[in-house]
């Protein structure tokens, strides 16, 4: 259940089943701090200048997504949200007209979403995954599934992603293991440029 | 025509690539030259000016962290490289020149589509199709990558490779036609503004009598960073020698804490120093206006080479002055006299403290003082006085165009080294013009290496033992390049006052000139003749036993005796 209120800075915020989804003091400043803590985008100017994809796990009150739009002027932002009511709240209280480079995915499972060729394309380019902690805590199972799928650092998620990325020809080598996978656990079947990229990356690991 | 130059090493290496970029621009004035560098050094690009038409970035740090960090998608690094390769392939390069001598760049160059490739390039079967037809790249692979002494500076070796290594219809230069070579960087308005803002108008006032001394004490490798207490002592002594001196300490943002500590140490000794953590553009503006730079083996010393500032370089640890020393006619290099110097980059120092750092700070202060005053005799005196602790060199651009270290101590045979440079360059160029890097070229290089190890006289003895008819034949074939070399050497000796002022030197160098002529002739024409003579026995075996054995041709027609 959603309970709306105002922050001390005068912005709309809400509680979801008793959990606050943004700062009660100043959600806009909090959104800014959130961005500054996102290592992948802060270290990479390309995210700000290039047309990259940013997967945001959790819409929350929407302020961090708005801040991200300002920071990364050309990035495609895919917001994964577990609940429809959150989306409606943000539309009614914070932002009604989102830019076309924002895609909202509500309640959908990752393998269903990526079953379209357009979505598959997103996985074939550099992207990063930005979890929004208040939302992650509230719907842990839903967001963890997305996070694992996108990072593909466990056997099941990797397999699921590899099915989509065929004919990239990546296979796992070695035993099934409980810890997270690294690129060393993968092997490319492909010839030519793909295997050379693989060799280049291996050189960097050494 | 579109050329891609790949330079994925550090800042200093990018700066050292500027003479090569200039050479490409001179050779193909219509060419679009694009440069691929590590994104960490993007800050250099505004200063490259018209040398480069476009810069591409290899996001080394992000690719590496993407491989290792568990909160990043497992294939992120793969897609990043793929994206870069696609971007580069769209450019349709006619020539890809790899100035990065490592496997990583080899794989990358192997992926990029393009016409001709020069430098290391690896294929999927891990076979290095490293050098194309370029004998200079082979030389670089065998000599510049090891910790063994080298005849050529990195810049000269890569310039040699750039000049003789491609056949895209350009004008060939012959040996001896090298124009003046120097590192180039363009100052930017932002850089000047930055320095003005930090140091005030006084710094830009050329009439101000203050002597601005820039000091960059730290390097990325502790082995190569001289002790900070010694730097403090240097500045303390120097401020007594030159009361008008004002020090500016510079460094990377990561060095701020150590630099602040150094400033405090100086203040305790009543020496005032400004601390300047600035952009690379700011650093260039600073170097352009300051009077002297004191540094270790840093990228800044290469940037300083693009200006007329006087430079004193301290070479300790794995710093290899013969390969990457300051390429400027205004530099003095102080190298530790410890026999373990230079050590290998990858080897940890076995001693409790770095022995190579143990030399008197006072001598550095005196070198700075004499260098700034232009006092050659003073420098020579310091070199003689401290020759047990250090070797002191002047960085010189020789008449033929090659860079060389000229020692201040008289007992070092640097003219011999110069002659060997010429000989080896001749051998490499000659070999290249012959096409394949063949057995003959390998033989030539083996001989030149042996000459380096064993000295010219021994090699000359070998030469003298050739049949006189054969010698005559070879000498008759000497070309115009030799005459020019001879002329330049004599001119240069005259300009240095060597021939006129020192009788013994005069005799010695006159004889060296004769030897040089002979050697150059040997190197240009002897290779085939030597091969004929040596065909009857195994060259390497005979070289191993050089000094004791007598080797004879199997047909007994000619003999080569080694003493």
Nearest Cβ partner for B64 among A124, A197, A204: A204
Question: Cα dihedral angle (B378, B381, B383, B389), rounded to 10 degrees?
Answer: -120
Hey, what are B100's tokens?
């990065």
Q: What are phi and psi of A56, to 5 degrees?
A: -105, 120
Q: Enter the CATH code of domain B189-344+352-407.
A: 3.40.50.2000
CB B378 within 8 Å of CB B156 = no
The neighbour count for residue B495, using CB atoms within 10 Å, is: 10
Strand pairing report for B331-336 and B390-397: antiparallel
- Give yes or no for residue B130 having a pLDDT over 90: no
Asked which of A5-19, A42-56, B273-287, B521-535 is least confident by mean pLDDT, the reply is B521-535
Residue that the structure tokens 């909160």 belong to: B71
Q: What are phi and psi of B81, to 5 degrees?
A: -65, -45
**A187: which DSSP letter?**
E
Q: Is B549 or B9 the better-scoring residue by pLDDT?
A: B9
**B77: which DSSP letter?**
H
Interface contact flag, A183 B78, Cβ < 8 Å: yes
Q: How far is A199 from chain B (nearest CA, A)?
A: 7
Q: Report the mean per-residue pLDDT for chain B.
A: 75
- Give yes or no for residue B220 having a pLDDT over 70: yes
- Give yes or no for residue A19 having a pLDDT over 70: yes
- Give yes or no for residue B218 having a pLDDT over 70: yes
Interface contact flag, B76 A128, Cβ < 8 Å: yes
Chain A positions contacting chain B at CB under 8 Å are 40, 43-44, 46, 124-129, 150-153, 158, 161, 170, 180-183, 186, 191-193, 195-201, 203-205
Each residue of A74-86: pLDDT tens digit? 888 999 999 999 9
Three-state secondary structure string covering B55-67: EEEECHHHHHHHH
CATH of B2-164, one of 3.40.50.2000, 3.50.30.50, 3.90.1750.10, 3.90.950.10: 3.40.50.2000
> What ipTM was reported for this prediction?
0.85
pLDDT for B542 equals 39
Q: How far is B35 from chain A (nearest CA, A)?
A: 18
Interface contact flag, A203 B103, Cβ < 8 Å: yes
| Residue from A54, A50, A52, A49 nearest A64 by CA | A54
Q: Report the mean per-residue pLDDT for chain A.
A: 83
CB B152 within 8 Å of CB B160 = yes
Residues of chain B contacting residue A171, judged by C-beta atoms under 8 Å apart: none
- Considering A39-48, B111-120, B183-192, B316-325, the range whose residues carry the highest mean pLDDT is B183-192
Nearest Cβ partner for A200 among B74, B104, B126: B104
Nearest Cβ partner for B78 among A151, A158, A201: A201
What residues does B519 pair with on adjacent strands?
none
Q: Enter the CATH code of domain A26-166.
A: 3.40.50
Q: End-to-end alpha-carbon separation of chain B, Å?
A: 54
| Residue from B143, B123, B153, B155 nearest B20 by CA | B155
Angle at B372 between CA B369 and CA B376, to 5 degrees: 85
In angstroms, how far is CA B290 from the centroid of its own chain?
A: 24
Angle at B479 between CA B477 and CA B480, to 5 degrees: 155
Q: Is A71 or B142 the better-scoring residue by pLDDT?
A: A71
Q: What is the pTM of this model?
A: 0.77
Each residue of B272-296: pLDDT tens digit? 899 999 999 999 999 999 999 999 9
Distance, in Å, from the CA atom of B344 to the CA atom of B354, rounded to the nearest integer, reads: 14
Angle between helices A155-165 and A140-151 (to 10 degrees): 60
Enumerate the domain spans of chain A: 26-166, 167-206
Interface test with B, best of A47, A157, A178, A197 (most B CBs within 10 A): A197
Each residue of B136-181: pLDDT tens digit? 787 787 777 666 677 788 998 888 887 654 443 333 443 334 456 7
Q: Does B56 reach chain A within 8 Å, measured CB to CB?
A: no
Helices (H), B320-360: 321-324
Interface contact flag, B64 A129, Cβ < 8 Å: no
Each residue of B83-103: pLDDT tens digit? 899 999 999 999 999 999 888
């Amino acid at each position: 259940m959603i309970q709306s209120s105002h922050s001390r800075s005068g912005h709309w915020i809400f509680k979801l089943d008793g959990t606050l989804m943004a700062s009660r003091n100043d959600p806009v400043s909090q959104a800014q701090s959130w961005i500054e803590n996102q290592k992948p985008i802060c270290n990479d100017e390309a995210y700000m200048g290039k047309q990259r994809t940013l997967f945001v796990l959790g819409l929350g009150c929407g302020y961090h997504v708005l801040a991200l739009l300002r920071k990364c002027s050309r990035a495609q932002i895919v917001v994964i949200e577990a609940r429809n009511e959150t989306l409606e709240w943000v539309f009614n209280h914070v932002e009604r007209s989102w830019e076309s480079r924002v895609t909202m995915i509500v309640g959908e499972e990752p393998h269903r979403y990526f079953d379209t060729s357009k979505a598959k394309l997103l996985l074939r380019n550099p992207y990063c995954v930005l979890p929004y902690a208040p939302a992650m805590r509230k719907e842990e199972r839903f967001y963890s599934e997305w996070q694992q799928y996108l990072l593909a650092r466990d056997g099941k998620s990797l397999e699921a992603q590899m099915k989509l990325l065929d004919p990239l020809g990546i296979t796992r080598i070695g035993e099934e293991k409980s810890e997270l996978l690294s690129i060393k656990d993968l092997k490319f079947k492909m010839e030519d440029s793909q295997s050379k990229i693989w060799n280049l990356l291996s050189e960097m690991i050494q | 025509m579109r050329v891609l130059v790949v330079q994925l090493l550090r800042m200093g290496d990018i700066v050292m690539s500027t003479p090569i970029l200039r050479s490409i621009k001179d050779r193909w004035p219509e060419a679009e030259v694009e440069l691929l560098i590590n994104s960490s050094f993007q800050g250099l690009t505004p200063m490259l000016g018209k040398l480069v038409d476009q810069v591409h970035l290899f996001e080394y740090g992000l690719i590496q962290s993407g491989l290792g960090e568990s909160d990043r998608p497992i294939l992120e690094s793969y897609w990043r490289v793929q994206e870069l390769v696609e971007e580069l392939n769209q450019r349709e390069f006619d020539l890809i020149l790899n100035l990065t001598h490592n496997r990583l760049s080899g794989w990358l160059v192997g992926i990029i589509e393009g016409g001709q490739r020069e430098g290391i390039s690896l294929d999927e079967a891990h076979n290095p199709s490293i050098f194309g037809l370029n004998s200079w790249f082979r030389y670089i692979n065998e000599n510049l990558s090891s910790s063994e002494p080298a005849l050529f500076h990195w810049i000269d070796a890569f310039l040699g490779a750039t000049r003789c290594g491609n056949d895209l219809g350009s004008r060939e230069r012959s040996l001896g036609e090298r124009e003046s070579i120097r590192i180039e960087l363009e100052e930017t308005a932002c850089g000047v503004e930055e320095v003005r803002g930090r140091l005030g108008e006084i710094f830009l006032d050329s009439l101000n009598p203050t002597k601005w001394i820039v000091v960059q004490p730290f390097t990325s490798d502790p082995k190569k960073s001289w002790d900070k207490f010694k730097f403090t002592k240097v500045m303390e002594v120097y401020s007594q020698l030159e009361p008008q001196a004002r020090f500016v300490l510079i460094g990377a943002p990561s060095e701020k804490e150590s630099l602040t500590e150094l400033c405090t140490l100086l203040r305790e000794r009543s020496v005032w120093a400004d601390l300047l953590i600035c952009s690379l553009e700011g650093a260039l503006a600073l170097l352009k206006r300051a009077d002297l730079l004191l540094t270790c083996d840093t990228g800044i010393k290469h940037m300083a080479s693009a200006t007329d500032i006087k430079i004193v370089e301290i070479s300790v640890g794995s710093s290899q002055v013969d390969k990457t020393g300051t390429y400027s006619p205004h530099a003095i290099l102080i190298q530790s006299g410890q026999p373990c110097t230079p050590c290998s980059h990858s080897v940890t120092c076995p001693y409790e403290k770095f022995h190579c750092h143990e030399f008197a700070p006072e001598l550095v202060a005196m070198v700075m003082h004499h260098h700034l005053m232009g006092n050659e005799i003073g420098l020579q005196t310091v070199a003689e006085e401290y020759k047990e602790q250090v070797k002191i060199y002047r960085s010189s651009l020789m008449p033929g165009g090659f860079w060389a270290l000229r020692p201040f101590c008289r007992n070092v045979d640097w003219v011999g080294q110069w002659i060997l440079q010429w000989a080896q360059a001749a051998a490499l160029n000659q070999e290249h013009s012959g096409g394949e890097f063949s057995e003959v070229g390998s033989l030539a290089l083996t001989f030149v290496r042996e000459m380096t190890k064993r000295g010219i006289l021994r090699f000359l003895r070998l030469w003298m033992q050739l049949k006189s008819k054969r010698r005559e034949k070879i000498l008759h074939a000497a070309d115009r390049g030799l005459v020019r070399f001879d002329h330049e050497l004599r001119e240069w000796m005259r300009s240095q006052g060597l021939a006129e002022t020192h009788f013994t030197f005069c005799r010695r160098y006159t004889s060296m000139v004769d030897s040089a002529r002979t050697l150059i002739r040997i190197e240009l024409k002897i290779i085939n003749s030597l091969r004929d003579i040596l065909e009857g026995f195994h060259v390497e075996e005979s070289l191993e036993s050089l000094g004791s054995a007598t080797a004879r041709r199997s047909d007994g027609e000619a003999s080569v005796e080694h003493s």
